[in-house]
Amino acid sequence: MIINFTVNGKSVSMDVMPQKRLLDFIREDLLLTGTKEGCAEGECGACTVILNKKAVHSCLTMTGQLDGGELMTVEGLEKDGELDVLQKMFIKKSAVQCGFCTSGMLMSAKALLMENPHPTQEEIKRAIAGNICRCGGYREIKEAVASAAEMEKEE
Amino acid sequence: MNSNYIQPRTRQELSQALGQMTENSRIIAGGTDLMASDHGRDSSTDLYISLFCLGDMAEIYREDGWVRIGAGAVHDAIEKNPIIQENFRALSMACSKVGSQQIRNKGTIGGNLVNASPAGDMLPCVCLFLGEVEILRADDTTYRMPARDFILGAGKTALKPKEALYAVWLPIQEGRSSTFVKLGSRKEVTIAQISMAVSWEKGEYFQKIEGYLGAVDTRPIYLEEMNHILSGRAVGREEREELVSSLRERIRVIRENRKRPPKLKITEAEQLYKERAVRSVVYDAIDQMEGES
Ligand SMILES: Cc1cc2nc3c(=O)[nH]c(=O)nc-3n(C[C@H](O)[C@H](O)[C@H](O)COP(=O)(O)OP(=O)(O)OC[C@H]3O[C@@H](n4cnc5c(N)ncnc54)[C@H](O)[C@@H]3O)c2cc1C
Ligand code: FES
Ligand code: FES
């Protein structure tokens, strides 16, 4: 099946296996390996990407569902060689330990800030409730997201 | 992985696709139930029909005293829809408590009802609001039936081969309020152990109370005792405890009549968990009702 979509702002037309998991398509066909596989059943959030401006699990999505859509992966955060403010704040606040949950966390946080640039603590907590960090750095992660929102406000 | 895949863009294309279904074909909406179980890799599936690009199926609007929720409407959209918040608060609340943001962004009301999990949060709400389901056939006609008759048991619905759930219709009932309580095994991103959906007529005291208990039996249970115990009076500790006793008894009977042992290996004390925990559900529900009135 030929599908048309954009990935990180670039238009693409590709012949795909529509029932393949979007997660596998992203990693194996688009060769974007920043998106991770954890549980493969919607529990851990490691595979989170932004599809049509919403955070979704790429492990529970079929590639065909991308047709006509807009996909953003963690690789799309960086613009012209400069990291997104969220990425900068994750580094600054030490919100990355082993890093396995990080791309999923970043995408959940990005989807939140796209819809709601000035979230409350509660809204940040809710947005990342489906992202599990085995290293347990939730406090730093929430601080990083709050600081990124603050920085955007100042700019 | 050689199954076919059709992604209709109009209702007519969907009906045509339904005509091609065999017993090995699957409909996929959000995929949050289906993909979690078969990963799209079930080699016996000959055809997937994806509802993801059917705009009309996701729409929510008011029509002739009813609110129509497309079967493809996702939990996040239902939660935030002003018509739902105003008329069916319990449903908006239930959607806000489904899984995580990622699940709410993709999981649909249609998938929830057709999956018919006893823990499905939409089931008690749609029953509470006297909802009807609209079903699409392969000849592009639809018919409606009460949601209560549609849900037959755990994983079982009245949907026939070559049919899709197209929309859910809820009649608008003026002057009523509602609320939803969910008790899970953890605070967030949790599957219901017990849920309760309640509606009542606004006034000095609660009147004409309707209630459903979810996740306790294979289908939502209608609680006729709620109205007897709580309506037309100031509700104190005595009424709360009377309702707790009644629900505890219902849960005990269901547990004792269960034919199959619980799937998980649990201790006897754990088996009694719901009977104990229903007290907090009753207290939370009444607190919320008082807060709303
Ligand atoms: C991590 C996680 C947490 C969850 N938490 C909750 C929760 O808190 N509460 C809750 O209730 N559920 C929960 N769920 C279950 C699930 O997300 C919901 O039931 C969701 O609403 C299913 O919708 P879907 O569109 O993703 O269904 P799908 O997976 O697409 O489909 C489910 C079933 O319904 C069929 N189907 C779907 N749409 C139609 C239609 N229109 N016509 C005919 N057949 C159809 C499919 O063939 C399939 O058999 C959770 C799931 C996960 C993975
Ligand atoms: S890999 Fe998708 S949620 Fe865990
Ligand atoms: S940083 Fe290790 S899992 Fe989150």
Asked if B5 reaches chain A (Cβ–Cβ under 8 Å), the answer is: yes
Percentage of the residues of chain B whose pLDDT score is greater than 90: 85
Confirm or reject CATH 3.40.50.720 for domain A85-154, answering yes or no: no
pLDDT given at position B265: 67
Angle between helices A102-115 and A85-92 (to 10 degrees): 130
pLDDT over 70 at B15, yes or no:
yes
Confirm or reject CATH 3.30.390.50 for domain B176-292, answering yes or no: yes
Which residue from B minimizes the CA distance to A57? B102
Instruction: Determine how many CB atoms are found less than 10 A away from the CB of residue B87.
Output: 20
Measured distance CA(A109)–CA(A29) in Å, rounded: 26
Instruction: Please answer yes or no on whether A55 and B36 come within 8 Å at the CB atom.
Output: no
Each residue's pLDDT tens digit, A57-91: 999 999 999 999 999 999 999 999 999 999 999 99
Length of chain B: 293
The structural domains of chain A, with segments of one domain joined by +, span: 2-76, 85-154
In terms of Cα–Cα distance, which of B212, B275, B211 is closest to B248? B275
CB B123 within 8 A of CB B197: no
Question: Is residue A96 classed as helix, strand or coil in its secondary structure?
Answer: coil
pLDDT over 80 at B2, yes or no:
no
Question: Ligand nearest A132 Cα, by number?
Answer: 3
Question: Ligand nearest B111 Cα, by number?
Answer: 1
**Mutation target vs A (from B1, B53, B74, B102; most A CBs, 10 A cutoff):** B102
Q: How far is A52 from chain B (nearest CA, A)?
A: 10
B270 conformational bin, left if phi > 0, alpha if psi -120 to 50, beta if neither? alpha
pTM of the model: 0.97
pLDDT given at position B192: 86
What is the A34 CA–ligand 1 centroid distance (Å)? 27
Which residue from A minimizes the CA distance to B99? A130
Residue reference for tokens 């009649």? B171
CB B282 within 8 A of CB B247: yes
Positions of E strands within chain B:
4-6, 25-28, 47-50, 60-63, 66-70, 132-137, 142-146, 151-153, 156-157, 163-171, 176-184, 192-201, 207-214, 221-222
Each residue's pLDDT tens digit, A123-142: 999 999 999 999 989 999 99
Instruction: Please answer yes or no on whether A57 and B50 come within 8 Å at the CB atom.
Output: no
Of A48, A64, A126, the CB nearest to B5: A64
Each residue's pLDDT tens digit, A1-21: 999 999 999 999 999 999 999
Question: Could you give the ipTM of this predicted complex?
Answer: 0.98
Task: To the nearest 10°, report the CA torsion of A121, A122, A125, A130.
Answer: -160
Classify A2-76 by CATH class: alpha beta
pLDDT given at position B111: 98
Q: What is the CATH number of domain B55-171?
A: 3.30.465.10
pLDDT given at position B1: 47
The structural domains of chain B, with segments of one domain joined by +, span: 4-50, 55-171, 176-292
Pocket test for ligand 3, best of A48, A101, A103, A106 (most atoms within 8 A of CB): A101
pLDDT over 70 at B53, yes or no:
yes
Measured distance CA(B103)–CA(A55) in Å, rounded: 9
Which residue from A minimizes the CA distance to B46? A19
Dihedral sign (CA B170, B227, B253, B278) = positive
**Mutation target vs B (from A16, A57, A113, A123; most B CBs, 10 A cutoff):** A57
Measured distance CA(B7)–CA(B285) in Å, rounded: 42
